[in-house]
Structure 1
Amino acid sequence: MTDPQAGGLSLRPVDSRRTRDDFVRVPWAIYGDDPNWIPPLLFERKEVLAAKQPVFEHLDWQGWVAYRGGRAVGRITAQVDRLHLERHGDDTGFFGFIEGIDDGVLGALTGTAEAWLRDRGMRRVRGPFGFNINQEVGLLVEGFDTPPYFMMTHARPFYGPALEALGYAKAADMFAYLISANFQPPPVMRTLFRRLQRDVTIRPLDPKRKDADLEILRDVFNDAWADNWGFVPFTAREFHTIGHEMLMIIPPDFIQIAEMKGEPVAFIVLLPNVNECIADLDGRLWPGGWLKLLKRLKFGYPRTARIPLMGVRRRLHNTRYGPGLALSVVEALREPGLRKGLEEVEMSWILETNEAMKNIIETLGGQVTKRYRVYDKGLS
C-alpha cells in the first residue's frame, strides 16, 4: 500500500520472511548514530514475532514496515488482545514496536494502525506495548542519555512530541529507578524484618521443582497485580515460556519467594542486565557472538541488573505485612547480587501512581533515571 500524503512512503504488511526481517532491522536505521542504543539480538527479536508464541493464543496483530526509496525507515504493529477486552470491556486496541525516521513516517504508520483497529471495532488505541502490557511497555520520554536495561525500550526524543501532534495524550507514566546493589536498609526496615521473622520465610527458587515454583510466581503475580492499571493476567503457557527462557540466564537465588505459614505470599525476580554483554555484538551471535556472550555471563558477569517482576498478594497490601513483605524480598536479593559483583539495580517499571512502591524504593535510596509514557487516542 502507498500513502501519497506521506512523502513517497510505501507501507507494506509484515507477511513474508523479507518483511519480517526488515521489521526486525528497522532500529538499525533509526539509532545507528545513537551511542546509548543497544542493538537487540536479532534471533530473539525474530522469535518474538513467531506464530508459536503463547501471547498469540489471545491476541491478533498486524505489523507494517515503512519504506522510502527502497529503504526501511519505520515500523509499527496494531493488536487486539482478547484477554484485555474480556477484563476491561473498553473496546481498546493497541499499537507497538513503533519506530520512524521522522514525523511523517510516524504519522503514516499510526494512521495505518488506527485504521486496522477501527475496522475491528476498536474505539480507542493505546500504546506503545511490545504486544501487551506484560511485555515491553511505554515510550521513553525522559532519560535518553543512558542506555536502556535489558528488556526496556529506547526512543528518539522527537517521538513523544510527534505522537502528541497526532492527537495522542498521556494515559500513564512509568518510572525506572536506580538503587545501589549494596543498599543499606534503614532502621525502620530492620524493625519490619524482625517482626516478620516469626511468620515469614524467604527462599530461592528450587531448580528441582522449577515448574511448580514458576506456577507459584504466576499465581502470586496475577493476584498481586489484579487491581493495577491496564492489568492483563499471564496465561500459564505465557508465564512458563518466559520463565524457562529467563532461567537460562538467572541464577536460582535471583528469584526469591516469601511464604507465610507455608503459603506463598510474595516474590521477586532479579534479571542480569544482559545489555552489558551484547552491546558490541551488533545483534549477531554468529559466528563468534555466542562464545563472547557465554564467556561474559560466566566470567565477566554484568555489574548491573533489573527487577522486572515482584508482587505481594492483594489481601496483604493494606496490612502491616504488605510493606514488610515487599521490603523483605528486595532485601533477600542483596546478598546474592553482591556475590555476583552487582553494583547497581534498576527497578522498572513502576507506575507513577504507585505511591506505596515508590516510597519503598525511595527509602532504599532509589533515584528516578527514566520516564516511560503510554499514550492513547480516541478512534472516531
Structure 2
Amino acid sequence: MNDSAAITITPVSTDKARKAFLDVAYHLNAGDPNWVPPLRVEAAEVIDRDRNPFFDHAEVQLFLAFRAGTARPVGRISAHFDRLALSMPPKQGMGPGTGNWGLLEAEDEEVAAALIAKAEDWLRSRGMDRVLAPISLSIWEEPGLLTTGHDHPPTVMMGHHDARYQPWVEAQGYAPAKLLRTFEIDIRVPFPRLIQRIIASGEKNAKINVRKVRKADFDSEAAIILDILNDAWSGNWGFVPITDREVAHTGKKLRPLVREDLIMIAEYEGEPVAFMMTLPDVNKVIHEIDGKLFPFGWAKLLRWLRKPTNADMRVPLMGVRKNLQNTRLASQLAFMMIEYIRRAAVEEYGGTRGEIGWILEDNQGMNAIAEAIEAHVNREYTIYEKAL
C-alpha cells in the first residue's frame, strides 16, 4: 500500500485540467466491458458552467488526484451543493446544510479515500454539515452508486460504477440513505389478463384520452410535462424543482431521441393529468462506437437516430398529478400509457427489452405497477449519507 501522503488532490481551474478530469473516466474504465463511454461532447457539457444550467443555482468544485511521480491523474471527484436543494424540507432528503459529491473515479481505495476527504473538507468550509452522495451533479442526472447490476451495461442516462467503489465509500463512514431501483421487462410479452382488462376498461371511458406528444409543438408539450412532473414529484424524497432553463437544456439534448409514439400524455375530462416518457436506448450504439464520434462513429449514430432499430427502451420519467395519486384512475392511466408505448416499441422499433426507473424503494405505487406488469429489478443504486 502506498503512503497516503504521496497522493495530492488539486482543484480543477484550467481548460487543460478540465480535459484531464474527463479523461480520467475513460482511462480507468477502459477495461470494463459494461461501462458505456459517454460522448465526449456531452461529458464536457456536464462540467461546463456556461452550458449546464445546474450551475445557475449551484456551487461546484472539481478535484483531481495525483500520485507522486506520475503525470496522469489517478482519480477525480466533484464537490457541490445545490441552493434549490438547500431550500427543500429536510424530511424530503435534502434541506439546509446538505452538500453532495459525485463523478467519483479512483484507481484504488487509497485514492478514493483522499478524494472523498477533500470533497468533505470543501463542503465543510462552505457551511455544509451533511453529505448525500454520490450525486452527479444534479439529482435529475445520475444519482446514486451502482450497487447491484454490474453485469450488464446501463441504459441511456443511467450511471455505471466499478463494483469496488461500494466498500470504498462505506469504509469512509457512509451509510445508505435511499435505494433507487430500475425494473426490466421483456416488452414482447403481453401483460397479464388483469392488466389488459384494466386497459380495456379505460379505453371505454369517454373521460379518458391518452395521446402521443406532438413534436411540432415541442415547447408547449414540454411545458405540460414539466407542470405535471413538478406537481407529481413535489412530495418525493430527493425532489428539487427543475428550472425553465434546465427544461430547455434537457429538451434540446433529448430532442434527437424524442419519438411521438414513445411519449404519452393522459388527459382526464380534457385536462392533462399524467405523462410517460420513453427513450430508445442510444447507449447501445454509443457502446459500439466507444463514445467516439470521429472518424466514423457520427455516421453510425446519425443513421440510428434517424430510425432506431432493435432498440431497447428506458422509461426515465413518469408522473400522475398529486390529487390522483393512490387512486384506481392513476394506475389505470399508467397501465394504458405503458401498454401503448410497449406496442409501439415492439412494432415500430423492434424492441425486445424495456427498463423502468429509477424508482424509489419506498414508492409503493410505482413498485406495485412494476410488479403488476411482471417486471423485475435489474439494477440498484444507493445514495449514501454522512454527517460532517
After TM superposition, the score normalised by the length of structure 2 is 0.93
Aligned to 2:92: none
Report if aligned partners of 1:183, 1:365 keep a CA contact under 8 Å in 2. no
Report if aligned partners of 1:62, 1:78 keep a CA contact under 8 Å in 2. yes
Letter in 2 for 1:9: I
Report if aligned partners of 2:262, 2:278 keep a CA contact under 8 Å in 1. yes
Q: Secondary structure at the match of 2:289?
A: coil
**Per-residue CA distance 1:209-242 (angstroms, 9 max, x = gap):** 1101000010101111111111111111111220
Report if aligned partners of 1:277, 1:297 keep a CA contact under 8 Å in 2. no
Report if aligned partners of 2:181, 2:360 keep a CA contact under 8 Å in 1. yes
Indicate how the Cα distance of structure 1 residues 194 and 44 shifts in structure 2: closer, same or farther if over 3 A, else same. same
Aligned to 1:214: 222
Letter in 2 for 1:125: V
Q: Secondary structure at the match of 1:303?
A: coil
Indicate how the Cα distance of structure 1 residues 221 and 5 shifts in structure 2: closer, same or farther if over 3 A, else same. farther
Matches within 5 A, 1:51-70: 51-52=49-50, 53-68=52-67, 69-70=70-71
Letter in 2 for 1:283: G
Deviation at residue 7 of structure 1 after TM alignment: 4.8
Aligned length: 376
Aligned to 2:360: 351
Determine whether 1:243 maps to 2:251.
yes
After TM superposition, the score normalised by the length of structure 1 is 0.95
Report if aligned partners of 2:280, 2:308 keep a CA contact under 8 Å in 1. no
Give the Cα–Cα distance (whole angstroms) in 2 for the partners of residues 294 and 193 of structure 1.
Answer: 36
**Per-residue CA distance 1:54-78 (angstroms, 9 max, x = gap):** 1111111101111221112111111
Q: Secondary structure at the match of 1:190?
A: helix
Give the Cα–Cα distance (whole angstroms) in 1 for the partners of residues 106 and 87 of structure 2.
Answer: 32
Matches within 5 A, 1:127-166: 127-166=133-172
Aligned to 1:298: 306
Q: Which moved more, 1:118-127 or 1:330-339?
A: 330-339
Q: Secondary structure at the match of 2:374?
A: coil
Indicate how the Cα distance of structure 1 residues 29 and 190 shifts in structure 2: closer, same or farther if over 3 A, else same. same
Aligned to 1:47: 45
Give the Cα–Cα distance (whole angstroms) in 2 for the partners of residues 227 and 183 of structure 1.
Answer: 34
Give the Cα–Cα distance (whole angstroms) in 2 for the partners of residues 333 and 280 of structure 1.
Answer: 26
Unaligned runs of 5+ in 1: none
Letter in 1 for 2:218: K
Percent identical:
39
Report if aligned partners of 1:7, 1:104 keep a CA contact under 8 Å in 2. no
RMSD between aligned residues:
1.5
Deviation at residue 14 of structure 1 after TM alignment: 1.6
Q: Secondary structure at the match of 1:87?
A: coil
Letter in 1 for 2:53: P
Report if aligned partners of 1:266, 1:325 keep a CA contact under 8 Å in 2. yes
Matches within 5 A, 1:20-169: 20-52=18-50, 53-68=52-67, 69-88=70-89, 89-169=95-175
Report if aligned partners of 1:12, 1:19 keep a CA contact under 8 Å in 2. no
Letter in 1 for 2:382: R
Q: Which moved more, 1:8-17 or 1:267-276?
A: 8-17
**Per-residue CA distance 1:137-173 (angstroms, 9 max, x = gap):** 1101111111111111111111111111100010001
Give the Cα–Cα distance (whole angstroms) in 2 for the partners of residues 300 and 314 of structure 1.
Answer: 34
Q: Secondary structure at the match of 1:356?
A: helix
Give the Cα–Cα distance (whole angstroms) in 2 for the partners of residues 263 and 299 of structure 1.
Answer: 32
Q: Secondary structure at the match of 1:93?
A: strand
Determine whether 1:202 maps to 2:210.
yes
Report if aligned partners of 1:205, 1:253 keep a CA contact under 8 Å in 2. yes
Determine whether 1:178 maps to 2:176.
no
Report if aligned partners of 2:256, 2:305 keep a CA contact under 8 Å in 1. no
Deviation at residue 301 of structure 1 after TM alignment: 2.1
Q: Secondary structure at the match of 1:175?
A: strand
Aligned to 2:197: 191
Q: Which moved more, 1:361-370 or 1:161-170?
A: 361-370
Q: Which moved more, 1:103-112 or 1:319-328?
A: 319-328
Give the Cα–Cα distance (whole angstroms) in 1 for the partners of residues 305 and 325 of structure 2.
Answer: 36
The correspondence for 1:360, drawn from 357, 363, 369, is 369
Q: Which moved more, 1:4-13 or 1:73-82?
A: 4-13
Deviation at residue 300 of structure 1 after TM alignment: 5.9
